[in-house]
Amino acid sequence: MTNESLLLGIDISTTGAKALLINSQGEVIASATTPLTLDRPRPLWSEQHPADWWEGVVSSIRQALAEAGAAGEAVTAVGLTGQMHGLVLLNESGEVLRPAILWNDQRTAVQCDTIRERLGKERLIRITGNDALTGFTAPKILWVQENEPEIYAQTRHILLPKDYIRYKLTGDYAMDRAGGAGTLLFDLAQRTWSPEMLDALEIPAEWLPETFEGTAVTGTITPKAAETTGLAAGTPVVGGGGDQAAQAVGVGAVQPGIVALTLGTSGVVFAATEEPLYESDGRFHAFCHAVPNRWHFMGVMLSAAGSLQWYRDTLAPDTSFTDLTAEAETIPPGSEGLLFLPYLSGERTPHPDPLARAAWVGLTLRHTRAHMTRAVLEGVAFGLKDSFTLLQNAGLETIHQVRISGGGAKSPLWRQILADVLGVELVNVSTTEGAAYGAALLAGVGTAVWPDVDAACAATIRFTQVTGVGDTAVYDQLYSIYQQLYPALQDSFHRLRS
């Protein structure tokens, strides 16, 4: 049985409850994930039962401890991360009142309009850093207020998914500031709840928990939770952060000029800032970072590596991704005038349009499957460049390095295309456990394993691959054409809805 001190990162994602153990050198000792399922009781709805999260967390913690051969006493601190924006409602006794409404639930369009009407869009963005979107927590609260008044009348506590797990572990109602900023109820600059937002939406301030920086200790493991999980009573639990903020800590995107790019099913561009920045139209998310007294900008592309997955599954199901990208490598940059719009699921950044659609533009008899494959890779890169353009226009003028992760980052060709389109060096890093790893690092900083988050990242994260910038001229020309396609096709996309 191991005698070394361990840090535990817990990640409550939409699909699984993960427990990750690392040592004080940042080495992964054990990892376990318990699958979670979604409920979709009506079209556009997305819910989960908080009891399932807790059962999953308990199972994963016990599995990870067993894999590590460690007793609960070996864990010196716990960090939390997980899906943002979800709504958990509790009564006076801390009992769950209804299934949690998740980040990807789309029922609240009317409530988003209500929020804009009450605050004014410009004032809303100036307070919170964001426009009202269906994914955020505030419109979900209004939906319950209007559609389930009997539930709303019993409500006494509002939490996010990971903070429900915090409550089960510690008995305390608390929330990290990165997560709080994602509710649309935060004053972004002040890093706390906004009285103006709460008054406008008629939400009692006493229902909201105290908020903490990501490295602050928010409570300790209770004897009851210790008996259930196998952890030791009294173990500190730190604030942690929302999944994207913790993911950024996990790859070291904690200082201005270093951007995290996640090339998964969706694509996320994440940039740390020293002060709160605002995108005037709310096309970019602006939240508090999990790093104390830092903020971040975030753009989300709905179909990044998901575009390549759809393309392979639909048009070349018997061909491996390796073979497809090998074919594409024989085609020159620019795919000989073929462009792909990657809006297979609508889009969020920079076009918050659920009716946006995908398209190839410029097809000729000369173009082959290899051209189409490369055009998909390049189209996703152009879509991500939209977020980088917004970043720079909003005030983050210098980008020194992009740290890339996610399934799409495994492709050398795609990495090179991205480096050339973005005009910046890409690096892969040694840490591949994502948000849970970042949560464990935050736990270590909160208990003085490292003096601050910068030091924790410097001590544990190493570069494994570097992709330098090649020829950017062709892509610079094509990007200007790409930018014109959505405005030109927007009306057609909307008319095609019917």
Give me the DSSP letters along 201-231.
HT--GGGSPEEE-TTSEEEE--HHHHHHHSP
Mean pLDDT over each residue of the chain, to the nearest integer: 94
Q: How far apart (Å, rounded) are the C-alpha atoms in residues 18 and 31?
A: 7
pLDDT for position 306: 92
Q: How far apart (Å, rounded) are the C-alpha atoms in residues 380 and 367?
A: 19
Q: How far apart (Å, rounded) are the C-alpha atoms in residues 207 and 42?
A: 28
1 part of a folded domain: no
Q: Enter the DSSP assignment of 240.
A: -
CB 430 within 8 A of CB 462: yes
- 290 lies in the same domain as 423: yes
- 187 lies in the same domain as 302: no
Q: Is the pLDDT of residue 136 over 70?
A: yes
Most confident range, picked from 232-246, 279-293, 344-358? 232-246
Tokens coding 467: 């992709």
Q: How far does Cα 426 stand from its chain's mean position?
A: 20
Q: How far apart (Å, rounded) are the C-alpha atoms in residues 328 and 374?
A: 5
Of 210, 239, 268, which one is at a domain's C-terminal end? 239
- 205 lies in the same domain as 257: no
Report the residue count for the chain.
498
Q: How far apart (Å, rounded) are the C-alpha atoms in residues 227 and 389?
A: 51
Q: Enter the DSSP assignment of 23.
A: E
SS3 197: helix
Q: How far apart (Å, rounded) are the C-alpha atoms in residues 160 and 166?
A: 10
- 130 lies in the same domain as 55: yes
What's the domain range around 140?
6-239
Q: Is residue 243 flagged as an active site residue?
A: yes
Lowest mean pLDDT among 2-6, 16-20, 335-339: 2-6
Q: Is the pLDDT of residue 319 over 60?
A: yes
SS3 229: helix
SS3 497: coil
Of 209, 239, 269, which one is at a domain's C-terminal end? 239
Q: Which residues contact 126 (CB under 8 A, 6 or more apart)?
A: 278
Q: Enter the DSSP assignment of 364.
A: -
pLDDT for position 124: 97
Tokens coding 429: 């890093």
Q: For the chain, what is the total number of helices (H) and then of strands (E)?
A: 17, 24
- 111 lies in the same domain as 137: yes
Q: Which amino acid is at 166?
A: R
Here the CATH number for the domain that contains residue 468 is: 3.30.420.40
- 209 lies in the same domain as 307: no
Q: Which of 355, 379, 361 is nearest to 492 (CA)?
A: 355
- 208 lies in the same domain as 249: no
pLDDT for position 277: 87
CB 197 within 8 A of CB 257: no
SS3 424: coil
- 57 lies in the same domain as 171: yes
Averaged pLDDT, 314-333: 96
Q: Which residues contact 244 (CB under 8 A, 6 or more apart)?
A: 84, 262, 268, 270, 298, 435
The domain total for the chain is 2
pLDDT for position 152: 98
CB 46 within 8 A of CB 40: yes
- Region for residue 307 given its phi and psi (left: phi exceeds 0; alpha: psi -120 to 50; beta: otherwise): alpha
pLDDT band at 135 (very low <50, low <70, confident <90, very high): confident
Surface-to-core class of residue 247, CB atoms within 10 Å of its CB (0-12 exposed, 13-18 middle, 19+ buried): buried
- 226 lies in the same domain as 297: no
Q: How far, CA to CA in Å, does 110 sit from each of 116, 194, 310?
A: 10, 22, 31
Q: Which of 409, 412, 400 is nearest to 434 (CA)?
A: 409
| Active-site residue identified among 243, 313, 386, 454 | 243
Task: State pLDDT tens for residues 158-195.
Answer: 999 999 999 999 999 999 999 999 999 999 999 999 99
Q: Which residues pair with 295 in a beta bridge?
A: 273, 288
List phi, psi (to 5°) of 182: -85, 5
Q: Enter the DSSP assignment of 328.
A: H
Q: Is the pLDDT of residue 1 over 60?
A: no
Q: How far apart (Å, rounded) are the C-alpha atoms in residues 44 and 433?
A: 30
Q: Which residues pair with 78 in a beta bridge?
A: 8, 237
pLDDT for position 284: 86
Q: Which amino acid is at 38?
A: L
Q: Which residues pair with 212 in a beta bridge?
A: 176
- 274 lies in the same domain as 139: no
- 314 lies in the same domain as 450: yes
Q: Enter the DSSP assignment of 471.
A: -
% of the chain surpassing 90 pLDDT: 85
133 part of a folded domain: yes
86 part of a folded domain: yes
pTM of the model: 0.90
- At 220, which helix (H) or strand (E)? strand 217-220
CB 278 within 8 A of CB 181: no
Give me the half-sphere count of Cα atoms (radius 13 Å) on the Cβ side of residue 179: 35
- To the nearest 10°, report the CA torsion of 447, 451, 454, 458: -90
Sole residue written with tokens 């000792």: 29
Task: State pLDDT tens for residues 334-391.
Answer: 999 999 999 998 888 899 888 899 999 999 999 999 999 999 999 999 999 999 998 8
pLDDT band at 69 (very low <50, low <70, confident <90, very high): very high
Q: How far apart (Å, rounded) are the C-alpha atoms in residues 200 and 444?
A: 39
Task: State pLDDT tens for residues 409-460.
Answer: 999 999 999 999 999 999 999 888 889 999 999 999 999 999 999 999 999 9
- 130 lies in the same domain as 168: yes
Of 239, 263, 284, which one is at a domain's C-terminal end? 239
